[in-house]
A and B are shown apart, each in its own frame.
Chain A
C-alpha cells in the first residue's frame, strides 16, 4: 500500500512539473531568447573591438519559400565569417513571425507583412525586404490558354466559369488548385490577381511541388506558383495576364502585378551579427548571384515599391 501511495505521489509530482513547464514555456523562452540576444551582441561587439571579426550564433527561420535562399546565403556568410554560426529553419511564415516576436528566432522569415497577421505586434519588429517573388497562374496545357484578362482570371477562380471554352480555351472542365488559408502565396494571389475575390472550392495543397504535380497530371487544372516552379518543359503553362508576360523584368518595372516581398524581420534594431547577415543578403554578390539563380527577383533592383497596405509607388 505504501508503494502505491508513493507511486501516485510521484506521478502527481511529475505532472505538476510538466504542466508548470508548459505554462511557463513562453516566459522562459522569452527571457532566454533575450539573454541569448544580448549575449551574442556583446560578444560580437567585444570581438569586433579586438579583431574586427564577428563571433556568435543566430537562428533564422520561417517562410519555407525563403528557406533555400536563406540557407545558401548563410553558407556563404559562414565561409566569410568562420566565427559565426547561422542556423536556418523552415516552419512557415506564421511560425517565423511568432518566433521572432517571442525571441526564439533572431531573424524571422515571412512571405507577408507582419501588419497583415493577427496576434503580431508589428511595431516591435523591423522589416528587411531581401527578395521579391513573382507569381502567376499555372495552367495545365490541355486548357489551351496562354493568356487571360484579369477579369476572366477572376471568373475562373471564383467559379463563375467552369469550362475553358468560355474564356477562349478548349472544351475542358476547369479544376481549381488552391493553397490553404493563411498561405502567403494564396494571400498574394488573391490580393493582386483576383483583386480580393474569394476563390471557389477546389483541391487544396500546400506544397508547391505537389501543386505542380497535380496541375501537370490533371487536365484543365489551374493553380498558382512562384516563377521558379515553371521549368519551361511545357507541362505547365505560365499564364500571361492582360497580355503582360509573367517575367522578372515585368515585375521589376511594375507592369506585372502579382508579386510579394520576402521579408526578414528582426525584433527591434538588429544586433551586429544579424545586421551583417542582412547586409550580406542585400549585397550585390547575393542580389545579382544567388537571388536570380534560385528564381527570386532582386529586391534592390525593383523600380516600384509596395507598402503593407498594398499601395504601389515608383521608387
Chain B
C-alpha cells in the first residue's frame, strides 16, 4: 500500500513508476467500482418489484405460494431450498474436506500431497454442467431406488454441490493446517501424545477459525450454484415434504424463468428481487468470514 509520505511529486515525477501505478490502481478502482455498481444496480432492480410492481415485501419473504400467472409471489420455499442445499452440502463437504486436508498435511505429507493436489485441481476444473449431468444420470436414480421418492430433491442437490465445493474446502483447510507452527505439534508429541491425539486435541482446535472460514467459503459457493442444482433438484415450487421431494432454490428459479420473461414485467422484477436476496446473503457470508478470521487474530 501507499504510505503517507507519498507526495504528488513522487506520483508524477518518475515516469516509469507512474505507469505501473496507473495500471495497478486502475485495476483496483475498477474492481471496487464494479462491485459498488453491481450492488447499486441489483438493489435498484431488486426493489422495483416492491416499488413499481407493488408486491408485498412481507408476503414475498414469508409465503410459499409462487404462481406468477395468478399474481402470487411468495419466495419462502426457494429461500428455504437454498439454505437447505447449502447447509447439507457443507455437511457433506466439511468432514471430507477437512479430513483430506489433514491427511495430506499431517499423515502422508509427501505422497498424500502429490496424489491429492492434482485430484483437487481436477475437481475444480470440471464444469458445473458436468456435475449436474452426472448427478442426473447417477445420483438421482440411485437415491430414487435405495432411499426413496423419485430421487429429485434437496438431498441430490446437496450431494452434487457437496462434491463441487469439496476442493474449495480442502485447499483452504490444508493451508490452515499447514500454517500451524511445528513447535506446537512437537510440544504435543514431546508430552507423549499420539498422532491422533495431537490432531484431535491440538491441530484441529488451533486451526478451527480457519477451518470454519474454509467451510463458510464453500457454503458461499454452494449458495450461488445454479446449473448443477437445477438439473437434480426437480425445481418444484411447493414446500418440500422431505429431502427427496422435488424442491427449488433461488438460483434455479432465476435461471429457469429469466429467458421467458420480458423486461419490466412483474415476474422479471420478482426474479431480480430473488437475485437481491442472493446478493444480501453473499454479504452475510463475507461478514461471517470476516468475523471468523478476526477471532483467529485475537
Contacts and interface: CB of A to CB of B under 8 A. Distances in A.
Interface stretch (B31-39, B117-125, B169-177): B31-39
A94 interface: yes
Contacts of B152: 203
A203 B235 contact: yes
6 contacts: A92-B258, A93-B260, A94-B259, A175-B150, A203-B236, A205-B230
Contacts of B238: 201
Question: Which of A10, A15, A91, A182 counts the most B-chain CB atoms under 10 A from its CB?
Answer: A182
B256 A180 contact: yes
Interface in A167-221: 175, 180-184, 198, 201-206, 210, 213-214, 217-218
A162 interface: no
A64 to B, nearest CB: 7
A182 B256 CA distance: 10
Contact of B41 (A22, A120, A205): A22
| From B37, B144, B262, residue with most partner A Cβ within 10 Å | B262
A102 to B, nearest CB: 8
A202 B8 contact: no
A119 B53 CA distance: 12
Interface in B1-46: 2, 4, 6-8, 11, 25, 29-30, 32-34, 36-37, 40-41
Interface residues of A, number: 43
Central interface residue in A201, A204, A213, by most chain B CB within 10 Å: A204
B266 interface: yes
Contact of B37 (A2, A18, A217): A18
A96 B251 CA distance: 22
Interface string B244-282: 001010000101111111111111100000000000000
Nearest to B266: A118
A95 B259 CA distance: 6
A312 interface: no
Contacts of A205: 230-231, 235, 256
B228 interface: no
Given A14-B30, A118-B266, A181 B68 contact: yes
A297 interface: no
Interface pairs A-B: 10 shortest CB-CB:
A92-B259, A182-B260, A14-B33, A18-B37, A204-B235, A180-B256, A98-B263, A119-B265, A203-B234, A118-B265
A118 B262 contact: yes
A19 B40 contact: yes
Given A2-B8, A14-B33, A182-B267, A92 B260 contact: yes
A289 B276 CA distance: 47
Contacts of B255: 206
Contact of B260 (A19, A94, A201, A218): A94
Given A95-B259, A201-B238, A213-B136, A14 B246 contact: no
A184 B259 CA distance: 11
A10 B29 contact: yes
Nearest to B234: A203
Given A119-B268, A182-B261, A213-B137, 16 more contacts: A1-B4, A10-B25, A93-B259, A117-B265, A175-B150, A180-B256, A180-B260, A181-B68, A182-B68, A198-B69, A203-B235, A204-B236, A204-B248, A205-B235, A213-B136, A218-B144
Given A14-B33, A180-B257, A94 B68 contact: no
Contacts of A97: 262
A11 interface: yes
Contacts of B261: 94, 182
Contacts of A93: 259-260
A11 B25 CA distance: 10
- Which has the most chain B C-beta neighbours within 10 Å: A18, A180, A184, A206? A180
B262 A120 contact: yes
A17 B69 CA distance: 38
Nearest to A93: B260
Contacts of A181: 67-69, 257, 260, 267
B259 A204 contact: no
Nearest to B256: A180
A305 to B, nearest CB: 25
A308 interface: no
A3 interface: yes
A14 B236 contact: no
Nearest to B30: A14
A176 B114 CA distance: 48
A188 B260 CA distance: 13
A263 B259 CA distance: 16
Indicate the member of A1, A3, A11 with the most B CB atoms within 10 Å. Answer: A3
A205 B255 CA distance: 10
Interface in A131-171: none
Contacts of B253: 180
A198 to B, nearest CB: 7
Contacts of A98: 262-263
B114 to A, nearest CB: 38
Contact of A218 (B2, B7, B30, B150): B150
Given A92-B258, A95-B259, A182-B260, A15 B267 contact: no
A214 B152 CA distance: 10
Interface string B130-152: 00000011001100100000101
